[in-house]
Every structure is written in C-alpha cells, then in structure tokens.
Structure 1
Amino acid sequence: MNRNSNAYTFIFAIVMVLVVASVLAFTATSLQPIQNENVRQEKMQNILRTVGVEVERAEAKENFDKYIKQEIALRADGTADESVDAFKVDLAKELKRPVDKQIYPLYVAEVEGEKYYIIPLRGSGLWDAIWGYISLKDDVNTVKGVVFDHKGETTGLGGEITKAWFQQRFEDEKIFDSAGNLVGVSVVKGYGGGNDKDDNAVDAISGATITGDGVTNMISERLKHYLPYFEEQTDMKVAVK
C-alpha cells in the first residue's frame, strides 16, 4: 500500500486509536483493584477521624477492625437488615430510592472506653454532591467529630468544608434543642454565638452560604432517619422537627 495515500493514513490512524484504546482499557482494568482498595482505606480513615483516631492509609484496616465494634445496616423502621453489608452501602444510590426503602449504615465505635455512633452523610452543595460522616457520643446528642468532603465546591469558598478548622467547629455541638427536637447543627452566616455548644449552630464560611446550607440540610436530613434505632436502643423520648 502506498504510504503516501489517504487510505494508508486513514487505516494507520484507526489502528493506532485501537491500540491506544486497548492499552488504556487494559491499564484501567489492571489498576481497578488497587483503586478500589484505596477508596476502602480512605473511607475507613474518614470514619475513624470522626472519633479522633488519625492513622495512615496502610494502617486503616487494622485500626478500623480495632475500634469499630459494629457495622449495622438499618431499615427505615430502625431494625437491622442482616443481609446487607453496611460498609458497602452506596448513599448516592440510596438517596435515589424512597425513604422507606433506603438502607441507613451505622458504625458503632469504642475508643478508650467511650462509645460512639458514626453516621454517613450525603447531600448537595452549590455545584454538586457533598458528603461525610458525623460521630455522636454515647448520649446520642453531643457531636464527637465530623468529616466533610465534596465533588465540586469552589476552592477557597465552599471547598473549605474539608478543612480541619471548619470541621472542628462542630465538636461538642448538640443535635437536639432544649425542647428535645432534632435540629442538627446549622451553619449560620454572621453567627455570633462564640463558643456556645448548646445553640445547635456554628459559624459559616465567608462567601459559601449555599454550601453551608447544604451541610446544614445534610446533617439534619440524615440524622432524623436514625431516630427509630436510637429510641429503641435508649430511653430517648424526642420529637422530630
């Protein structure tokens, strides 16, 4: 075939595209198990961070098994579904299902003799999904810690929800108000409450009102689904606001 012909150029281009596509597909398939394991380990790290356990990724599995005593997949009525692996529940998919059909993962941790309940979160920010975890102390009211992440919030604005200085604001905040209503923790623009841990609010990030509202809504919306379980496990008598 004439190497200077259009036909040769066209065929050569097709062959090269197929070769490159095959190499990329093979590489992606080969790396998938490693990528999946990295995601698993990062998830374990984030869950542990909410209860004050900071570990390297390589140590995540060992410490997760050490501190997480239960992984429970809850139905909407607060009962456990033993057929579901709580760790594998994908909240992005669950949120597309009717509320009464969703599965609600719960992790029970024990650190230095203290018990904590860790709840996965997912909601919407300004541009895309936001998610994270919130841990509650044994009173099921006081926040031990939080971890937040996002898909596409603006760097320096909404993206600041991933920063330690913002997440630390939630520590020791209460999720129930003085009347026993579940209100979560609100991210409030122009907050003037100082270090008040009983007002169910923290200071917002300047210039990130919509992302802050997303965090507020995400916390209260997810937490309310766990009330049936907590009421069954404790003597809680609360209203849901």
Structure 2
Amino acid sequence: MSADSHPQAQSQHTGGLLASLKTVFRLPNDDPRKTIAVALVLCLACSVVVSATAVSLRPLQERNAARALKSEVVKVAGLDSAGMSLDQAFERIEQRLVDLETGELIADANPMTYSYRDAAKNPTMSSALDEAGRAGLQRRPDRMPVYLVRQDGQLETIILPVYGAGLWSTMHGLLALAPDGRTAKALTFYEQRETAGLGSEVAGERWLSEWPGKVLIDQAGQPVIEVVKGSVDPGAPNAEHRVDGLSGATLTSNGVTNLMRFWLGEQGYGPFLNRLRDNHRG
C-alpha cells in the first residue's frame, strides 16, 4: 500500500459520508430517518461546542480556584481585614508541603503547583487506608500543604487543609491552630454539598464561631475534639473539647468529628504537629 493510500481512503470515506447525509436530508421532513439524522448532527455539533468551551475555560477555572483558595487561607489566617490586597496578605503566609509519614517539611517543593486531590487518586503519591478511623477516605496523600503565619519570626498560626465524608459530600475545609498545635483559632468549610438548612450549616458563621479556643488535642497528643449531639454544657469538665452538634444533621456532625480526629491523628498531621509542639516548648 502506497504512502498516499491512507489520505485517499480518508477522502473517499468523507466523501461517502457527505453523500449519505445529502441523501438523508433530501428525504421528506416527516421521514423518521431524517429526524434521527438531524438529531444526531445536532448532538454532535453541541458536543463539539461544549468540549471546546470546557477546554478553553479550564485555565480560567484553575486560576479562579487558586484565587478562591488563597482568599480562604487569608480569611482563616485572620489577615483579610488587615488593609492589604489578597496577594499582599497571602505573601505574608509561608506555604510548605509536609511529609505526613515523618512530619518533616519538604524542601524545594511548591505547594501552589501541588494538588492533594490529584495525589489521593495516584497510588504512587498516596497510601491506602484501613477501614477504621479513615474519615470516609479510601486513600491519603503522602504529602499535604500547610500554611504558616509568623509575626516577628515567631510562629503565630498553623493552617491545615482538612477534608472528609459528610452525609452527601466530601467536605473540604481549613483549620487554623495556635502555635501550641492543639488549640483552634478558626475553621472554615469552603466546599460542601450537605443538606440545605441542616448539614450545610457546617459552613455557617454562627456554628464556625464556636470553634476558636477549643482544645482539639490532649496533652498526650491524641485528638479529643467531638461534635456532640445537642448542645455542650459549658460547666462540663470536657467542654473545651466539645462543639455543639448541627441541628438535624447528626451524620454531618459525625463527619466533622471523624475528619478532625483523622487529620489531627497519626495518619494525618500528627507527626508534624508533634514536631511543632516540641519546638514550641523548646
């Protein structure tokens, strides 16, 4: 077969297809074959337009997503009202990647080009989880981003991305800790699809305002935070480790407890937080 045979065959195939379409479109309008052909052509044209639009918009979507994440990090760091632009505020935040196995910060790694969501899907960049205590997750990225805020060289805030299963969705949030690595300063859930008016209150300002000051980890380094059913008794001895439950959303509340304990534990940021606490005490 000559080198020119393939283009020639393609040309003949295209010509035959066009001839067939012309034959179909000459049929009467009430002919079912013409109706089906028109529908197929319209579907093909629409799919091409949608695919082209999605490809062309992907860079813009990625930039918008990165900017939205920056905004959430700045907000939970408490720098959103400091009279700076978003980029200026974000520049004050140290962005690092941490090896969850060792708790060590990784040198020469750019967190802004790293996606923990993609890493969780890649067996070479993640670890399979056992059934117990995994916050509804199948795999855990081997590395996770962390954001550190320093004031005059001293660590002021530790910001950890956290996520886990709720009732209907995977909830993604950011947890801000005090330098002791145990006490909450702020929490936000910037992505969730829980039941409107019930579980969706996981992102509500009123409920999130209960978190600052809560002690999430005990002196032994074990996560003890719990979202309880109902309200917390302020006089109870363990009140500092408890947060009011979300009314009518027990499974979402349990999901928050599970994801917090997972990410603050040994399979999550536990080794990293232990290192920070040692440095803080020193």
TM tier, smaller:
0.7 to 0.9
Q: For this pair of structures, how many residues does the alignment match?
A: 233
1:39 aligns with 2:80: no
TM-score, scaled relative to structure 1: 0.83
Match of 1:235 in 2: 278
* Residues 211 and 141 of structure 1: CA distance in aligned 2, closer, same or farther (over 3 Å): same
1:61 aligns with 2:102: no
164, 176, 179: which one pairs with 2:217? 176
| Percent identity over paired residues | 25
189, 208, 220: which one pairs with 1:148? 189
Q: Deviations over 1:102-161 (max 9, x none)?
A: 213211123687621111101111122112010111121221100014443101111100
Q: How does 1:9-158 map to 2 (within 5 A)?
A: 9-54=35-80, 59-65=85-91, 67-82=92-107, 84-87=109-112, 88-91=114-117, 93-94=119-120, 97-98=127-128, 102-110=142-150, 115-158=156-199
1:226 aligns with 2:252: no
Instruction: Tell which deviates more after alignment, 186-195 or 144-153.
Output: 186-195
CA contact (8 A) 2:148 2:155 kept: no
* Residues 34 and 160 of structure 1: CA distance in aligned 2, closer, same or farther (over 3 Å): same
Q: Deviations over 1:64-119 (max 9, x none)?
A: 12x21232232411123336433423247528633686213211123687621111
CA contact (8 A) 1:184 1:216 kept: no
Instruction: Could you tell me which runs of 5 or more consecutive residues in structure 1 were left unpaired when the two chains were aligned.
Output: none
Larger gyration radius, structure 1 or structure 2: 2
**Shift in Å, 1:184:** 4.4
- Alpha-carbon RMSD across the aligned residues, in angstroms, is 2.9
Match of 1:166 in 2: 207
Match of 2:241 in 1: 200
> 1:194 and 1:121 mapped to 2: Cα distance?
27
228, 231, 234: which one pairs with 1:188? 228
Instruction: Could you tell me which runs of 5 or more consecutive residues in structure 2 were left unpaired when the two chains were aligned.
Output: 1-25, 130-139
TM-score, scaled relative to structure 2: 0.72
CA contact (8 A) 2:186 2:211 kept: yes
> 1:195 and 1:33 mapped to 2: Cα distance?
52
* Residues 73 and 236 of structure 1: CA distance in aligned 2, closer, same or farther (over 3 Å): closer
CA contact (8 A) 2:233 2:239 kept: no
